[in-house]
C-alpha cells in the first residue's frame, strides 16, 4: 500500500513537472504551506496552548540537567584549586631544599651531612641537585598546564552559568507569554458567550414588543369605554359629563346672529376700501 502511495506521489510530481516545468517546486511548497496553515487553524486554540505548555514543561528537565552539570563542574574546579595549592606547597618545599644543597656546593665543603645524619660527598650532592632541578622544572610545567586547565574550566563555568540564567529567563518569559495567551483566549470565550446572550436579548425584545401591542389594545378598549357614554346616553356620573341646561334654540339664534353681524362688518369694510380705491 505504501509503495502504491509513493508511486502515486511520484507520478503527480512527474506530471506536474511536465505541465509547470521549474515552477512545480514553488507550487508544491505553496500548497504544502496552505494545507499546513489550514490544519493548524482547524485545531482549537486551547489545545494548541496545552501543547505549548507541554513543550515548555520539557524545558524543566533540561534546566535541571544544566544545574547538575554546573554543580559537578564547580566540584571539579574546587578540587583543581586544592590540587594547585598543594602543588605550590610542593614546589616551594622543593625550591628551599635545592637552595640548601646549592649553598653547600657553593661553600666548597667536601661533605654534606643530611638530616638523617648521613654524610654525602659534594659530587653526590651535585648529582642530587641536578635531579631535583629537573623534577622542579617538570613540576612547574605541570603547574602551568593545571593553571591553564583551571582557567578554561572557570571560563566554561561562567559561560554555563550565563546560559543557565538565560534559559531560566526565557523559561519565565515563555511562562508569562503562555499565561497571557490563556487570558486572551478566555476573554475571547467571554466575548463569544456575550454574543450568544445578545441572541437571547432579541427574544426578549420580541416579547417586549408583544407586550407593547397588548398594552395598546387594552388602552384602545379603555378609550372606547370612556367615549361610549357620550353616544349611548348613559347617566353621567362625573362633573365633566354634566350637560349644559341652555336651550338649543337659543344657542342656534345666538350663533347665527353673531354670524350675520360678522358678515355685515366685513361688507362695510370692503365698501370703504372700494371708495378709497376710486378716489
50 shares a domain with 26: no
Looking up cell 625550591 gives: 95
171 shares a domain with 130: yes
pLDDT, position 134: 94
Is 28 among the domain residues? Answer: yes
Looking up cell 623534577 gives: 135
Is 254 among the domain residues? Answer: no
pLDDT, position 226: 74
Q: With helix as H, strand as E and coil as C, how does the chain read?
A: CHHHHHHHHHHHHHHHHHHHHHHHHHHHHHHHHHHHHHHHHHCCHHHHHHHHHHHHHCHHHHHHHHHHHHHHHHHHHHHHHHHHHHHHHHHHHHHHHHHHHHHHHHHCCCEEECCCCCEEEHHHHHHHHHHHHHHHHHHHHHHHHHHHHHHHHHHHHHHHHHHHHHHHHHHHHHHHHHHHHHHHHHHHHHHHHHHHHHHHHHHHHHHHHHHHHHHHHHHHHHHHHHHHHHHHCCCCCCHHHCCCCCCHHHHHHHHHHHHHHHHHHHHHHHHHHHHHHHC
Is 84 among the domain residues? Answer: yes
pLDDT, position 71: 95
Which residues face 112 on adjacent strands?
120
- The CATH number that applies at residue 124 is 1.10.287
12 shares a domain with 126: no
Last residue of a domain, one of 175, 209, 243: 209
> Total domain count for the chain?
2
Domain housing 28: 1-36
> For residue range 181-192, what is the model confidence (pLDDT) as tens digits?
888 888 888 877
The per-residue pLDDT of the chain, averaged, comes to: 77
Which residues face 120 on adjacent strands?
112
Strands 119-121 and 111-113: antiparallel
139 shares a domain with 97: yes
pLDDT, position 247: 73
Instruction: State the CB neighbour count (10 A cutoff) for residue 12.
Output: 12
Is 256 among the domain residues? Answer: no
Is 96 among the domain residues? Answer: yes
Indicate if the pLDDT at residue 276 is higher than 50: no
Is 156 among the domain residues? Answer: yes
pLDDT, position 42: 63
Band (52; pLDDT cuts 50, 70, 90): confident
> For residue range 7-50, what is the model confidence (pLDDT) as tens digits?
554 555 555 555 555 555 555 566 545 555 555 556 788 888 88
201 shares a domain with 113: yes
pLDDT, position 275: 47
Is 177 among the domain residues? Answer: yes
Last residue of a domain, one of 163, 179, 209: 209
134 shares a domain with 79: yes
138 shares a domain with 55: yes
Is 165 among the domain residues? Answer: yes
186 shares a domain with 100: yes
pLDDT, position 105: 84
59 shares a domain with 28: no
Last residue of a domain, one of 171, 188, 209: 209
Indicate if the pLDDT at residue 3 is higher than 60: no
pTM, whole model, 2 decimals? 0.49
31 shares a domain with 156: no
> For residue range 142-197, what is the model confidence (pLDDT) as tens digits?
999 999 999 999 999 999 999 999 999 988 998 899 898 888 888 888 877 766 65
Band (199; pLDDT cuts 50, 70, 90): low
pLDDT, position 37: 55
> For residue range 113-134, what is the model confidence (pLDDT) as tens digits?
787 778 888 889 889 999 999 9
51 shares a domain with 115: yes
187 shares a domain with 56: yes
Band (83; pLDDT cuts 50, 70, 90): very high
Amino acid at each position: 500500500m505504501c509503495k502504491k502511495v509513493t508511486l502515486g506521489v511520484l507520478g503527480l510530481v512527474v506530471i506536474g513537472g511536465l505541465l509547470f516545468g521549474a515552477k512545480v517546486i514553488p507550487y508544491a511548497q505553496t500548497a504544502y504551506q496552505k494545507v499546513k496553515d489550514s490544519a493548524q487553524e482547524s485545531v482549537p486554540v486551547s489545545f494548541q496552548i496545552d501543547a505549548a505548555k507541554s513543550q515548555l514543561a520539557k524545558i524543566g528537565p533540561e534546566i535541571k540537567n544544566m544545574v547538575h552539570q554546573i554543580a559537578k563542574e564547580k566540584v571539579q574546579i574546587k578540587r583543581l584549586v586544592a590540587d594547585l595549592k598543594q602543588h605550590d606547597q610542593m614546589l616551594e618545599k622543593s625550591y628551599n631544599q635545592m637552595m640548601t644543597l646549592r649553598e653547600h656546593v657553593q661553600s666548597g665543603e667536601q661533605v654534606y651531612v643530611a638530616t638523617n645524619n648521613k654524610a654525602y660527598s659534594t659530587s653526590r650532592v651535585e648529582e642530587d641537585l641536578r635531579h631535583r632541578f629537573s623534577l622542579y622544572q617538570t613540576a612547574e610545567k605541570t603547574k602551568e598546564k593545571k593553571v591553564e586547565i583551571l582557567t578554561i574550566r572557570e571560563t566554561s563555568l561562567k559561560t554555563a552559568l550565563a546560559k543557565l540564567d538565560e534559559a531560566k529567563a526565557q523559561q519565565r518569559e515563555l511562562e508569562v507569554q503562555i499565561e497571557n495567551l490563556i487570558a486572551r483566549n478566555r476573554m475571547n470565550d467571554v466575548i463569544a458567550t456575550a454574543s450568544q446572550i445578545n441572541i437571547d436579548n432579541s427574544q426578549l425584545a420580541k416579547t417586549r414588543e408583544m407586550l407593547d401591542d397588548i398594552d395598546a389594545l387594552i388602552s384602545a378598549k379603555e378609550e372606547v369605554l370612556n367615549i361610549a357614554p357620550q353616544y349611548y346616553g348613559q347617566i353621567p356620573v362625573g362633573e365633566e359629563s354634566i350637560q349644559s341646561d341652555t336651550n338649543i334654540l337659543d344657542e342656534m339664534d345666538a350663533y347665527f346672529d353673531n354670524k350675520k353681524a360678522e358678515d355685515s362688518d366685513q361688507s362695510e369694510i370692503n365698501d370703504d376700501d372700494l371708495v378709497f380705491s376710486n378716489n
